[in-house]
Structure 1
Amino acid sequence: MDKLVLIDGNSIASRAFYALPLLSNSSGFHTNAVYGFTTMLLRLIEEEKPTHFLVAFDAGKVTFRHTDYKEYKGGRAKTPPELSEQFPLLKELMQAFGIAQFELEGYEADDIIGTMSRVGEEAGMEVVIVSGDKDMLQLASERVTVALTRKGISETERFDPAHIREVYDLTPDQIRDLKGLMGDSSDNIPGIPGVGEKTALKLLHEHPTVEEVLAAADGIKGKLGEKVRAHAEDARMSKELATIYREVPMDVSWEDKRFTGYEGPKLAAMFRKLEFKSLLEKMDFSGGSASEDGETDRAVLGEEAPEAVLLKTLSIHADNLGELLEQLPAIETVHVETIGDNPHTAELAGVVLYAHETGYFLTEEILASEPAQPIREWLSDPSTDKTVFDLHRAKVTLAWWGIVLQGCSFDVVLAAYLLDPTESTLTLHAMLNKYGLPGILDDVDVYGKGAKFKLPEAAELGEHLVRKAAAIARIASLQKKELAEKEMTGLYFDLEHPLASVLADMELQGMKIAPEVLSAIGQELKERIEALVADIYHHAGMEFNLNSPKQLGDVLFNKLGLPIVKKTKTGPSTDVEVLERLRSRHEVVAHILDYRSLAKLQSTYIEGLLKEVRSDTGKIHTFYRQTITATGRLSSQFPNLQNIPIRLEEGRKIRKAFVPSEPGWQILSADYSQIELRVLAHISQDERLVDAFYHNMDIHTKTAMDVFGVSEADVDRNMRRQAKAVNFGIVYGISDYGLSQNLDISRADAARFIEQYFAVFQGVRKYMDDIVLSARRDGYVTTLLHRRRYLPEINASNYNLRSFAERTAMNTPIQGTAADIIKLAMVQMADRLKSEGLQSRMLLQVHDELVFEVPVEEMERMEKLVPEVMEGALKLNVPLKVEVESGADWYEAK
């Protein structure tokens, strides 16, 4: 039987809009209603399998109902512009899906659906109506089911006549009578004042129609009877307004409403335009097919695509290894499949070498075997060009399996990151969809997820990895072209690509940990924590669970009577911000803050670091995430060494456990001084900033002098503290509210301070204004090395979204350029260590600091070489300054 699905376009779009947070694409268009609508369409297609489809829209605000009742829908709020701007996208989406749409001046979507459901039913079709409007229930019949949305649009409740009887004890036609009596505030249908759904149902159970209720009005007692009699005409009119018109003059030809499924490439293109990345990843637009034997030959890049490629998978074993050895000169792509988040402990699932539509799959066992020695030598040959997926991860994982990976000339993950650093999912599946290429199966579909994760048999695994290798080859050529178009070729080949190998080498080297030192620090912390707990109990006058926000809140706000600063759903907040504001109110608060800081040090950095020490090396091997942050900064994981707290002396002491790995060696630390402010001076060309750095002045003192209009001798500690807060706050686009919190002053005072700053440093203000205008024009900002940060919300109508994008536009070129500079220094430093034949090793990068271990005989050379390289990494019109310290451990070196 044919099935017709009818969707109330305006109703579903509105519900999706209010159910989902505001989303927008990089062009600034809001897309949350379109996204919700899309997910509902995909679900309907899968569950209902319609043969015919129609989405009905309202054509305008005035309909035939306004002729008799001008106030119809008069109380309805104006459609938010964030929603109204999405209707053109919705209609374009319908075209991409191949779904018919219809609207007609003077009629509502309800009337179009009413007419089509009648015609469909008469044609013997099964009809499903999807809406959020209960009025639609009047259309239900033996062949017509109404699916009303619930929980936004994520669920529907299906109504046929039996279910309507069960819920309301009415027939579908009586829904019109129900609305006639109770009205509908959303449509400004009056009904009878004071009659709600409960009363209306009671009346209809006694008198089945509005007309019969009115005829019996004299017998209805009390105020209800008075209201029914007084508003009889309103009830009749309301029933008429609520009646869906089912004779709309429209073409009911079935051919143009036939639905045969969407065209993958067309829908994928629309999803890319809308930037529905998660949907692009989840869906397989390729529809590839297997060959007769189902094993080796597959049109895995899309059978129907014009560029479809027939791939061959050859699983390598001892008998056919020679075939691969013969093809080694032709191999261009290598894919290393690792399983596990941490590449230092990851499983090696297999390696594929790919060329000319043939993939050679090697398991770890085969790769490690004696006959495969020529393969391992080829992998380590720096003269053979290899395109890879995630060079950094592949190099680290293979190294722990005793295999050196060199000669990698291009990495599609790094390229994808540079081309869009805000993209959170750097998978081959997503990359193929971006370029409109036929897809491959997502890893989750092959391996499963969570507890269901399992590697398939070798044959199936090999085919999946060959598809990946083929995808890498196709994507690489497109990325190289795009990098050139966006002026990022230099950023890629001179910085990010060589940095991947530098990071891998640093991580594999690792940093030695002295566990006995960590344990001793941990014991000290334990004793301090116990003393603090005793003090807290003493001042509170009772013992309680310090880690329970509820119990802590009870002590602070009930027993001690401190003021409640802010509330959460579960009660008064006791977060750090609240406690800092209460610090001066009671001495117990300072003890609680100290307890929290020390307890975190104990659990995260004493116990946590000890767990990360490898038994076979005695070192910590962190993993630097190169493709995570939108600014280009590195982040650290397993463990996170970027976040070891150093404001507290107890936190700084943890660095005593980081020691050289060789006897008699020392730790050298080199730290950029105020690099972001120096970059700001260069980019803004502000005369005062540039002059201060040229004359090696203390920049915070100089700022205080200029803002407060005093001499250097008159700058006190408080002035310098305020100037420092503004200096660093400006870099991050600080607001008056943020500055007021940092300095504990009023917002008005903070606003005046910021205004004074900009009045003095006019070059900075001009830079801030110009970069926002540039971002609005281009949709992105860049660093000095052309690293891009896209800002889709920069032209948003929503003030909060737009303001955030503006602040991001201001600070990204500064933060991003600072990140680029220290990365350049790392690449150049690695080259100098090698070219000069030094034994010294670069071990860590933490924010603006580089950490080395150095033989004593090389210390004098390194104390000159390191600042020379770091200060000369990128030429600015103000000098970069690096402070170098050394000692027996990392603590002494700082």
Structure 2
Amino acid sequence: MTNDGTDDKRLFLLDAYALIFRGYYALIKNPRINSQGMDTSAIMGFTNSLFDVIRREKPEYLAVAFDKEGSAERTELYEDYKANRDETPEAIRLAIPYIQRILKAMHIPIVVEAGIEADDLIGTLSKQAEKEGFTVYMVTPDKDYAQLVSEKIFMYKPARMGNGIEIWGIPEVQKRFEVERPEQVIDYLGMMGDSSDNIPGLPGVGDKTAKKYIKEYGSMEALLENAENIKGKLGEKIRENAELGRLSKQLATIKLDCPVTFSADKYTLDDPDVEAVHEIFDELEFRRAKETLAKIFSKEILESADSNSNSSSDSSAGAGQFSLFDTPGSGTKAEAQATGRQTLATTDHLYQVVQEGMGTKLFLQTLMKQTSVCFDTETTSLDPLAAELVGIAFCWEKGKGYYLPIPQDREQAQAVVDQLKPFFESAEIEKIGQNLKYDIKVLDKYQVDVKGPIFDTMLAHYLINPDMRHNMDILAETYLNYTPQSIVELIGKKGKNQKSMRDVDVEKVKEYAVEDADITFQLKQHFTPELKAAGTDKLFADIEIPLLRVLADMEIEGINLDEDYLSSLSRKLTEDIAALEKNIYKEAGEEFNIGSPKQLGEILFGKLKLVDKPKKTKTGQYSTAEDVLSYLAKDHQIIADVLEYRGLAKLQSTYVDALPNQVNPDTQRIHTNYMQTVAATGRLSSTDPNLQNIPIRTERGRQVRKAFVPRDENYTLLAADYSQIELRIIAALSEEENMMAAFQSGEDIHASTAAKVFDVALEDVTREQRSNAKTVNFGIIYGVSAFGLSNQTDLDRSEAKELIDTYYKTYPKLRAYMDDQVAFARENGYVETVLGRRRYLKDINSSNAVVRGAAERNAVNAPIQGSAADIIKIAMINIHKKLEELNCKSKMLLQVHDELVFDIHNDELEDMKKLIQEEMQNAYKMSVPLDVEVGVGENWLEAH
């Protein structure tokens, strides 16, 4: 569809908001967040589409149309026009000024008129340009534009996720809507309505019926004139809603008489102001955009790209959409090659398989001379404790790398790995990797201890941009403009037909494995200065990297499980669940599926009518969500029983029955996996199994902890728990004297708070007063409201509000600190922990009060939670180091929020109690002392 040398003048008109929304939602699961915490997905998506059009089509004439304040005319006709739409996402609202700055810097005309929508502006300009002999391409994914298509006006539809474009001319519109003429699309839209614009349409008329009536009657007017001939309820509805049909057609009609005038000399695509565009791209941190801009406006590049473009008769361009930023999953490698998108597999590189014998010897000699090497293991399993090595890739220079195959025979494999020990155990050579904890655990099975400095690109990116995803493919696409080869290409999709990496030809594995090492090596060079720029390089080197080794050792160690105890607990739970089920059926007056939200809702709110106005879901069903039922439980026994039933059923299925199946067959122990890069606050996450979510507030939940036992009779479990660490941190950071004094004197902080807010002597504080004070103490950190506090206590809302007001009067510096945190976040876009861990808050200045309120709560909470996470990480690192130095038999096993669990050899018990408590209490010095409670026992519950 490129300019083929004819005199045909081509005008491209872009629907800005349609392309902006499309780009934003294409990246919704993987938003692009820059170092300032700004979500740039909308800008990125639109700019990507704009550059793609320019690169593909090299248009002489181009303009971009924006909506402004909606359609005044349509809203006047129909008050609910577009009333169903959610508020524009904050990221899009903030993106518009940047996009318009980019367009102005590129000298691209912007068309905008208050009270007029972009489709009306484009419709008007298209028809005017058509009369002047132009061929017009309306660049938009919006199907409504199909009504404007003619011999000289086309829809230019970018396909999703970069899979080319579609050109809709008259034949395509005829086929898509089953009409004779494009203008009949207006009748089609009027009949069936449009939910996105809240156009009502004719009740009962959908896609198929609308197409049928178009064929039969030709127009809305003709349908309504003949409505008497339509039988049944549908005919009755159409007759009753004739005016609604006429209104809907009017709302769906794109205007062709807007106060804009097409003038060819004002719509030419001129050379951009490169310096001005670069300045904006630098501000947004669009790293490769300058190079791309130079390419698409280079005459030489544009002319050479002609051969890759589609002919004007091609209505479905198949070449991959050119991507300035290469969104994940956007097209295949063939498409990438056709569009100039880089992949390591298509750029110059030299990847070699290391041959046995002399080849291996020479490789090892060269390897040992390096100062920094990236390595990547290829294995037979995602579970490092079950995985066998297939090969290892190495890279220490961009575009070059080596793949060393590992024999299947275990003895031979060990012999090969033994040759690599000097490298892995070198204290001088830096080892680079992506998710190195996995590789360290795999190599541990081969008696290899990875020593020396390490650099994990996944951890580095987590500190640079904690809210983004951190897998290698996304990092390569985002930062290096590379599309790595997919593992699916080698071994297939998950399932019984998936191959093992060992079954793949070694040359193919080499290309895949070394490419990963090459990418990771390049990412390291990119992230090193970014860590420093973000002020997180020390946090990376002193906390996250040392912790990686600690976690690897903990995960390898695992914990012992009493399976017989869990079996007996499961039998008890089955009895309890059956008893609750019987009670619920009796209270309901019938049997039903308690696990079905639909059936449960109908019983509670349809049949029993427990509330006057029950909350409903978007699908119209009664809501039986946890928060809804919890609010009602104290007033209705059946709801209390349902919640208990749910809790016991989940406990049984998630832990009691599941844990024995997760015991490793080789070690006979449970091995959880700790993830460092999930929670933006810095807290660790536990998975496979998740040992951090075992309930501890219910008796049955606590009993699950009894299943975790020492290694054998020579060991005892020890649990060490920070007491009220978050309150201590907020007291220290806010410098609130009253709260600090309570901690410094060793008072019960909840009793002390109760004494102050209820104005009673410390010894006269009642259990209820202490409980309410405790709820406020912890709730303040999370921004508890009077409504929330009243739900958690026996206080009514006015009493709760009074308690919160009194609390802030009692601790005035606490309120000032919270206000200061919010103010800092507004100005800087982030907040920090005591060790400089940043939490970016992109919505802190949002105009949406609900969204802004959540960001404000995070501004207060994140530094507290994050500082607590940092402190326990320091303690873990220091304790692990001491255990190694002392060559202890005792091991650290688990980290659960503010608690550490150890397997202590009985001979070391008294020494370990003292060592662990001291290291935890002295992990970080504040004006408020850290207090650690230590317990021991024959199981985790007893120790805790």
Whether TM-score is above 0.5 comes out as: yes
Aligned to 1:296: none
For residues 514 and 676 of structure 1, what CA distance do their matches in structure 2 show? 33
Q: CA deviation at 1:680?
A: 0.7
Q: CA deviation at 1:742?
A: 1.8
Aligned to 2:472: 428
Name the SS of the counterpart of 1:361 in structure 2.
Answer: strand
Aligned to 1:191: none
Q: Deviations over 1:218-239 (max 9, x none)?
A: xxxxxx9xxxxxx9xxx99x99
Q: Deviations over 1:603-658 (max 9, x none)?
A: 11111101111122110011111111101111111110101111122221222221
Name the SS of the counterpart of 1:405 in structure 2.
Answer: coil
Aligned to 2:930: 880
Q: Deviations over 1:574-624 (max 9, x none)?
A: 233333333344433333222222211211111110111112211001111
Q: CA deviation at 1:55?
A: 4.8
Against the structure 1 CA distance between its residues 405 and 51, is the aligned structure 2 distance closer, same or farther, given a 3 Å change threshold?
same
Q: CA deviation at 1:338?
A: 5.2
**Match runs of 1:4-15 below 5 Å:** 6-10=12-16, 12=18
Aligned-pair Cα RMSD in Å: 5.1
**In the alignment, is the contact (CA less than 8 A) between 1:700 and 1:723 conserved in 2?**
yes
Q: CA deviation at 1:95?
A: 8.9
TM-score of the superposed pair, with normalisation by structure 1: 0.80
Correspondent of 2:454 among 372, 389, 409:
409
Q: Deviations over 1:767-792 (max 9, x none)?
A: 10111111111111111111111111
Correspondent of 1:513 among 561, 575, 584:
561
**Match runs of 1:839-854 below 5 Å:** 839-854=889-904
Which has the larger displacement, 745-754 or 766-775? 745-754
Against the structure 1 CA distance between its residues 179 and 711, is the aligned structure 2 distance closer, same or farther, given a 3 Å change threshold?
closer
**Which of 1 and 2 has greater Rg?**
1
Correspondent of 2:844 among 794, 798, 802:
794
Q: CA deviation at 1:312?
A: 3.4
For residues 642 and 810 of structure 1, what CA distance do their matches in structure 2 show? 24
Which has the larger displacement, 367-376 or 22-31? 22-31
Aligned to 2:547: 499
Aligned identity (percent) is: 33
Correspondent of 2:403 among 334, 340, 361:
361
**In the alignment, is the contact (CA less than 8 A) between 1:316 and 1:361 conserved in 2?**
no
What amino acid sits opposite 2:329 in the alignment? K
**Match runs of 1:559-638 below 5 Å:** 559-563=607-611, 565-568=614-617, 569-638=619-688
Q: Deviations over 1:246-289 (max 9, x none)?
A: 9722239988699xxxx999999978489999954335899999
Q: CA deviation at 1:335?
A: 2.1
Q: CA deviation at 1:889?
A: 1.6
Name the SS of the counterpart of 1:891 in structure 2.
Answer: helix
Correspondent of 1:282 among 315, 324, 329:
329
Q: CA deviation at 1:542?
A: 3.1
Name the SS of the counterpart of 2:391 in structure 1.
Answer: strand
**In the alignment, is the contact (CA less than 8 A) between 2:14 and 2:138 conserved in 1?**
no
Give yes or no for the alignment of 1:312 onto 2:351. yes
What amino acid sits opposite 1:324 in the alignment? F
For residues 443 and 239 of structure 1, what CA distance do their matches in structure 2 show? 48
Q: Deviations over 1:48-94 (max 9, x none)?
A: x64648653348989xx99xx99999999999796665444335666
Aligned to 1:248: 262
Correspondent of 2:126 among 113, 118, 123:
113
Aligned to 2:808: 758
**In the alignment, is the contact (CA less than 8 A) between 2:61 and 2:267 conserved in 1?**
no
For residues 206 and 534 of structure 1, what CA distance do their matches in structure 2 show? 58
Correspondent of 1:201 among 211, 216, 219:
219
Give yes or no for the alignment of 1:324 onto 2:375. no
For residues 513 and 551 of structure 1, what CA distance do their matches in structure 2 show? 38
Give yes or no for the alignment of 1:140 onto 2:150. yes
Against the structure 1 CA distance between its residues 698 and 350, is the aligned structure 2 distance closer, same or farther, given a 3 Å change threshold?
same
What amino acid sits opposite 2:377 in the alignment? V
**In the alignment, is the contact (CA less than 8 A) between 2:17 and 2:66 conserved in 1?**
no
Name the SS of the counterpart of 1:360 in structure 2.
Answer: strand
Q: CA deviation at 1:337?
A: 3.9
Name the SS of the counterpart of 1:850 in structure 2.
Answer: strand
For residues 470 and 525 of structure 1, what CA distance do their matches in structure 2 show? 53
Correspondent of 2:586 among 538, 546, 557:
538
Correspondent of 2:438 among 390, 393, 397:
393
**Match runs of 1:37-116 below 5 Å:** 37=46, 50=57, 52=59, 55-58=62-65, 86-91=95-100, 103=111, 108-116=121-129
For residues 428 and 7 of structure 1, what CA distance do their matches in structure 2 show? 37
**In the alignment, is the contact (CA less than 8 A) between 1:342 and 1:638 conserved in 2?**
no
Aligned to 1:213: none
Aligned to 1:370: 415
Q: CA deviation at 1:8?
A: 4.1
Q: CA deviation at 1:31?
A: 6.0
What amino acid sits opposite 1:587 in the alignment? Q
Q: CA deviation at 1:416?
A: 1.3
For residues 430 and 253 of structure 2, what CA distance do their matches in structure 1 show? 77
What amino acid sits opposite 2:437 in the alignment? H
Name the SS of the counterpart of 2:392 in structure 1.
Answer: strand
Against the structure 1 CA distance between its residues 39 and 628, is the aligned structure 2 distance closer, same or farther, given a 3 Å change threshold?
same
Against the structure 1 CA distance between its residues 664 and 93, is the aligned structure 2 distance closer, same or farther, given a 3 Å change threshold?
same
**In the alignment, is the contact (CA less than 8 A) between 1:684 and 1:764 conserved in 2?**
yes
For residues 147 and 889 of structure 1, what CA distance do their matches in structure 2 show? 67
Which has the larger displacement, 595-604 or 569-578? 569-578
For residues 861 and 159 of structure 2, what CA distance do their matches in structure 1 show? 42
Give yes or no for the alignment of 1:665 onto 2:679. no
Name the SS of the counterpart of 1:330 in structure 2.
Answer: coil
What amino acid sits opposite 1:825 in the alignment? A
Aligned to 2:206: none
Give yes or no for the alignment of 1:804 onto 2:815. no
Which has the larger displacement, 717-726 or 239-248? 239-248
Aligned to 1:220: none
Aligned to 2:789: 739
Correspondent of 2:690 among 640, 644, 653:
640
Q: CA deviation at 1:716?
A: 1.3
Name the SS of the counterpart of 1:792 in structure 2.
Answer: coil
Q: Deviations over 1:413-459 (max 9, x none)?
A: 211111222122x1334334554565644555666544586555321
Give yes or no for the alignment of 1:462 onto 2:480. no
For residues 671 and 105 of structure 1, what CA distance do their matches in structure 2 show? 63
Name the SS of the counterpart of 1:57 in structure 2.
Answer: strand
For residues 288 and 558 of structure 1, what CA distance do their matches in structure 2 show? 55
Name the SS of the counterpart of 1:562 in structure 2.
Answer: coil
What amino acid sits opposite 2:356 in the alignment? H
For residues 249 and 319 of structure 1, what CA distance do their matches in structure 2 show? 73
For residues 871 and 334 of structure 2, what CA distance do their matches in structure 1 show? 46
Q: CA deviation at 1:472?
A: 2.5
For residues 396 and 152 of structure 1, what CA distance do their matches in structure 2 show? 36
For residues 86 and 690 of structure 1, what CA distance do their matches in structure 2 show? 44
Q: Deviations over 1:332-388 (max 9, x none)?
A: 322224575543344645311223454221233278152552213432344543222
Aligned to 2:228: none
Against the structure 1 CA distance between its residues 269 and 629, is the aligned structure 2 distance closer, same or farther, given a 3 Å change threshold?
same
For residues 696 and 13 of structure 1, what CA distance do their matches in structure 2 show? 60
Tell me the matched-pair count: 834
For residues 151 and 310 of structure 1, what CA distance do their matches in structure 2 show? 31
Name the SS of the counterpart of 1:335 in structure 2.
Answer: strand
Against the structure 1 CA distance between its residues 172 and 152, is the aligned structure 2 distance closer, same or farther, given a 3 Å change threshold?
farther
Against the structure 1 CA distance between its residues 661 and 160, is the aligned structure 2 distance closer, same or farther, given a 3 Å change threshold?
same
What amino acid sits opposite 2:419 in the alignment? P
